[in-house]
Amino acid sequence: MSRPYRILHIDTDRTWRGGQQQVASLLKQLHALGHTNFIASPPGSELLRRLPPGVAQACPVPMRNEWDFVSAWRLARIIRREHPDLLHAHSGRAHTMGILARAFSGMKIPLVVARRVDFAIRNDGIGRWKYANADYYICDSNAIAEAMKAGGVPEDKLCVIYECVFEERYENADRRPLIEEFQIEPGSVVIGNVAVCEDRKNQRLIVQAAPEVLKQFPQAHFFIVGDGPLRNELIQLSQSLHAAHRVHFPGYRIDIGNFLALFDIFVLVSKMEGLGSSILDAQYFSLPVIATPVGGIPEIVVDGENGIFVPVDDPPSLAKAIMSLIASEEKRKRFGAKGRERIQKFHTPGIMTEQTIRIYEQWLKDQ
């Protein structure tokens, strides 16, 4: 084992989404291995609130935007006080804050950045400055790494470490409370999506496909779990398509495990996606997946093996794929088993943490 490290993690989001789940998983694993974590996150953030005591020393810093120089100066004071061996930034804004804080601290500390989106890199002075001033990038998928190479980041500053499923999060998952809450009839097939309601997640496609599915399978239920700017619009769309009685919008929920235990089919039809961590969660629950072949999704979903691919803007194709799985319980079980097998092979917390520590060692071996 490597020597114990002191790592200052930076996460600028106040919410609890896929990225924060991955940070929490990494912190727990690093703590269990004897490393010391510090986590800089906005006061009251979900990440700070949900971390178990002792896993990391909380360092609340507002970080209102990526050019919040006052917060960067506060981060620099934390760096000078705690003397971390390494900075690990977990978002794009955290990336900028890490660069500024390191400069303000006057200390030479490696900065590792997690990259979870496949957006193109800004090709201007600020973009070039930002991506030249981190030492290494951990990408969630090969698709993200390719996007970064296309943006001018040298290949030797990139690696791919896949996200994990933290099993403890789901150990008490129970579908029964939701069966009662939403009055799910025996024998119903439940189709689910878990994602923030925003344009790039493309839940309109699910709502548009629902009426065709319900014509053939009227006892099916659809769930779109999550909040976001488009939630009300999606609700109105389901009403206009006369599908509101079977398309449910529970909003933001903390009992995601219960929903995944309830689902029979998982759908993620994003327009763009770095990897699709919600697909990994669905595969942990042995769910067949219907998805769009965008970003890093083809790295975790194999069409015809553990899921089905559909085009980004084709409701009839999505309806057809859903109906094919509703009609075949055998196919659902076969696809689900293959997905679960993949999780156990590539996406455990232990694998993710072991690979991350190797990156830390690469930068700290001579210190």
Confidence check: pLDDT of 298 > 90: yes
Mean pLDDT score, 346-359 = 95
pLDDT confidence band for 269 (50 / 70 / 90): very high
**pLDDT of 124 higher than 90:** no
pLDDT for position 163? 92
The model's pLDDT over 228-263, given as tens digits with 9 standing for 90+, comes to 999 999 999 999 999 999 999 999 999 999 999 999
- CA 41 vs. chain centroid, Å, equals 17
Residue holding tokens 């990139």?
A: 158
Please report, for residues 97, 172, 297, 315, the alpha-carbon distance to residue 194 in angstroms, rounded to integers and kept in the order given.
Answer: 30, 18, 15, 18
Average pLDDT for residues 271-288, to the nearest whole number? 95
Overall average pLDDT of the 284-300 stretch: 97
Instruction: Tell which wins on pLDDT, 245 or 367.
Output: 245
Please tell me the predicted confidence (pLDDT) of residue 346. 93
Burial class (CB in 10 A: 0-12, 13-18, 19+), 86: buried
> What's the average model confidence in pLDDT over 287-309?
97
Percent of the chain past pLDDT 90, that is, above it, reads 90
- The Cα 310–Cα 216 span in angstroms is 19
pLDDT grade for 169, boundaries at 50, 70 and 90: confident
The mean pLDDT value of the chain amounts to 95
pLDDT for position 59: 97
The predicted model scores a pTM of: 0.88
C-beta of residue 5 within 8 angstroms of C-beta of residue 35: yes
> CA-based diameter of the chain, in Å?
66
pLDDT band at 16 (very low <50, low <70, confident <90, very high): confident
Worst-scoring range by mean pLDDT, 53-57, 124-128, 138-142, 227-231? 124-128
Over residues 29-47, the pLDDT tens digits come to 999 999 999 999 999 999 9
When pLDDT is cut at 50, 70 and 90, the band that residue 290 belongs to is: very high
Predicted local confidence at residue 367, as pLDDT: 60
The predicted pLDDT at position 316 comes to: 98
Condensed to tens digits (0 to 9), the pLDDT of residues 60-83 reads: 999 999 999 999 999 999 999 999
Closest CA to 166 of 24, 54, 311: 24
- Tell me what pLDDT residue 123 has: 81
pLDDT at 99 over 90: yes
Half-sphere exposure for 268 (CA within 13 Å, toward CB): 28
Averaged over 119-141, what is the pLDDT? 90
**How many whole angstroms separate alpha carbon 207 and alpha carbon 235?**
9
Residue among 124, 125, 78, 126 nearest 102 (CA): 78
What mean pLDDT is predicted for residues 298-326?
Answer: 97
**Given pLDDT bands bounded at 50, 70 and 90, which one contains residue 177?**
very high
Can you list the domains of the chain with their CATH numbers? 6-164+348-364 (3.40.50.2000), 168-346 (3.40.50.2000)
Q: Which of 285, 264, 257, 301 is nearest to 162 (CA)?
A: 301
> Virtual CA dihedral for 32, 37, 42, 47, nearest 10 degrees?
-10
Buried/exposed code over 125-161 (b: 16+ C-beta within 10 A; e: otherwise): eeeeebbebbebbbbbbbbbbbbbeeeebeeeebbbb
pLDDT of residue 366: 60
Question: By the 8 A CB rule, do 318 and 267 touch?
Answer: yes
Which amino acid belongs to residue 272?
M
pLDDT tens digits for 182-228? 999 999 999 999 999 999 999 999 999 999 999 999 999 999 999 99
In whole angstroms, give the CA distance from residue 335 to residue 278.
16
